[in-house]
Amino acid sequence: MVSDDVRRFVEEFLRRRERAEGFDASRHSYYVPSVRRLFLQFLLTGHVVDLFYMSKEDVVTLGLLVSRDVYRIDPGFYVHAVKYARYISLKKDAPLLALVSGVACGYDSEDLVRLLSTYTPRILVERFYNMFRYGTFPYRVEISRRRVRKLLARVIEEWEREGKLRWLAVKYPRSLRTLVRLVMDYVKIDSEVYDFLFYKGRNVTDPLLKARVMVREALRRREHGRAYELIVEHGLPFSLARPISYSLFDDRIFNIMSPYDIAMFCEALYRVARGERCMNPRVTVDGLVRAVERKGVKVPQWYIARTYIYTALRHGVDDPVAQAWARVWSMKMVQTAEELERLGLGLERASIILVLDGSASMSPRKRDLSRNILMQGLLCWVPFFRNVKNIVMFSGDAFYLEPDYVHRIDRIFDLLERAPNDGTCVECGLELALEEVKSGEYSHTVLITDEQANIISDVEYSEDHIASRVAEYCKLYIHNPQPYPAHVVRPRKNKIVPVYGRQAEDILVSVILDRLYELGEEEIIRLVEKANSV
């Protein structure tokens, strides 16, 4: 069970919501998870940001309390759960906050040092150390700031053992300088790194650090050509090249770009390669295609889809760069299945039937991605496209489509063309899906529609009855990419789960959370133990 501190926080939070929203909480019942389940839920799904109902401060307070309780009750589970979440979770702030709470309670081990060393110097200063310096804890902290600085000194030693320290100095000089100032009494800093950080690198001999100093001087003198040559020759971070004119770039730039950089700047660099931005470009289409195929698979799948769609819309589906992103998509489908399997929640075994609203209100024919609600909804479910076994499209009527429409990203436009772009008959789509799920071959039905207000309102509509019948055979997720501003969410009813989100990460978090609700206490413990043994 949760501790008295957590219970008091929840009771006070509920009283605030009663005052703000004018309802009587005593007339409602609430689901109270175990502290282990609540901890794992926070690690895998926690956003340390201002939310609609909870402020950022509330999220931090609850996260710290639950992390402390788990550390005191079961230190082994605490360590395993944090390691599990750190290496697979999309929410990197939550595991760090759990580590803050553990350290505040006296947690100290080599595992802790290794986990902290996976964060950047800026994150460690701003979100770890400053919590002990300026943050307010909802309980008594059992560690001094001096011991925290000693812990961070061990992190720097870990970076040096792994050969990361000089690269971090080049990429994050300001934040590493701040971190070194905090720990310099407890660790001997590499003399080259120290000279680079505090004396502008006048006497450094290390090639990487020396090249960074020379780039800084070249940029100061506006010798951009010299700076660019140094950056690509020594493999310095791409961020140093951003102030330099694209007219100086050539295919070597792709060697220093991260996968995210390639996806983010793909369109801009493609214009250069086609001669649309500067005269005599040295960036080539072939070079961009090779870079996409080599590094693109490390980009999140929904971002691959978005980059492909933008490229194909501008240059056509037969364009070589668009086709390169389509090939990367196929490789990413396999990788995503492996990542889902690593979660250990059985999501990789899901068998899904998609029910898509192709009515005019979903704007399926819009080429502007920001206005095409059907496309927005589809991109949210990209991580599960491999698991789609059938598709139902509905508007005034409903019909089946082959799952190949989502298995291959280059067919996504064909799918949109099949949308009737007419009226809305949610019942028609659900009725056709019901015929399929009766076979028992499906674990999930995903309904993407902007008519969610009808389905989850207090009034009983015909589609309510059909949705309940579908849910007798499998889990039903109802997803509205752009929900109405009020009264669009009610508590989960049987196996009907309304979800909201405009990014794949949000939907994945919702599915993970829903799956965790289904696990028993012993299953949760086995889950994190198994993940740490792999």
How many CB atoms sit inside 10 A of residue 525's CB? 18
Q: Kindly list the distances between the CA atom of residue 445 and the CA atoms of 425, 453, 516, in Å, as whole numbers in the listed order.
A: 17, 18, 18
| Whether the Cβ atoms of residue 292 and residue 328 lie closer than 8 Å to each other | yes
pLDDT of amino acid 487: 33
Strand 398-401 to 352-357 pairing: unpaired
pLDDT of amino acid 489: 38
**What letter would DSSP give residue 493?**
B
Taking the C-alpha atoms of residue 367 and residue 363, their distance in angstroms, rounded to an integer, is 9
pLDDT of amino acid 300: 83
pLDDT of amino acid 455: 42
pLDDT of amino acid 268: 83
How many CB atoms sit inside 10 A of residue 430's CB? 28
Q: Evaluate if pTM is beyond 0.85.
A: no
Q: Kindly list the distances between the CA atom of residue 27 and the CA atoms of 20, 23, 24, 54, 58, in Å, as whole numbers in the listed order.
A: 16, 9, 6, 22, 24
How many CB atoms sit inside 10 A of residue 166's CB? 20
Instruction: Identify each DSSP E strand in 449-490 by its residue range.
Output: 475-479
Residue 146's H or E segment, with its range, is helix 145-161
| Whether the Cβ atoms of residue 129 and residue 101 lie closer than 8 Å to each other | no
* Residue 389 main-chain phi, psi, to 5 deg: -105, -15
CA angle 379–381–385, rounded 5-degree value: 100
pLDDT of amino acid 89: 58
Per-residue pLDDT of 190-206, as tens digits, reads 889 999 999 877 788 99
Residues 6+ apart with CB under 8 A from 281: 246, 247, 249, 272, 273, 275
How many CB atoms sit inside 10 A of residue 296's CB? 23
Residue segments in the chain with a per-residue pLDDT below the cut of 50: 452-461, 484-492
Taking the C-alpha atoms of residue 382 and residue 481, their distance in angstroms, rounded to an integer, is 14
Residues 6+ apart with CB under 8 A from 513: 41, 44, 45
Calculate helix-pair angle for 301-315, 373-380, nearest 10 degrees: 150
Helices marked H in 265-410 — which ranges?
266-273, 285-295, 301-315, 320-343, 373-380, 404-407
Structure-block tokens of residue 373: 């609600």
Taking the C-alpha atoms of residue 67 and residue 42, their distance in angstroms, rounded to an integer, is 9
Taking the C-alpha atoms of residue 164 and residue 309, their distance in angstroms, rounded to an integer, is 37
Q: Kindly list the distances between the CA atom of residue 529 and the CA atoms of 293, 440, 483, 532, 533, in Å, as whole numbers in the listed order.
A: 36, 32, 38, 5, 6
How many CB atoms sit inside 10 A of residue 433's CB? 30
Q: Is 440 left (phi over 0), alpha (psi -120 to 50) or beta?
A: left
Residue 87's H or E segment, with its range, is helix 75-88
Per-residue pLDDT of 82-101, as tens digits, reads 998 887 755 578 899 999 99
| Strand, helix or coil for residue 392 | strand
Taking the C-alpha atoms of residue 325 and residue 370, their distance in angstroms, rounded to an integer, is 20
Q: What is the DSSP track for 103-117?
A: HHTT---HHHHHHHT
* Residue of 98, 53, 48 whose CA lies nearest to 78: 98
Question: In Å, how far from its chain's centre is CA 423?
Answer: 35
* Residue of 530, 458, 459, 456 whose CA lies nearest to 496: 456
Sign of CA dihedral 515, 519, 521, 523: negative
* Residue of 278, 274, 276 whose CA lies nearest to 244: 278
Q: What is the DSSP track for 415-454?
A: HHHT---S---HHHHHHHHHHHHTTS--SEEEEE-S-HHH
Sign of CA dihedral 464, 470, 472, 474: negative
pLDDT of amino acid 272: 80
pLDDT of amino acid 278: 63
Per-residue pLDDT of 466-520, as tens digits, reads 788 888 899 888 887 765 433 333 444 557 777 766 677 778 777 887 888 788 8
* Residue of 10, 20, 40, 143 whose CA lies nearest to 519: 40
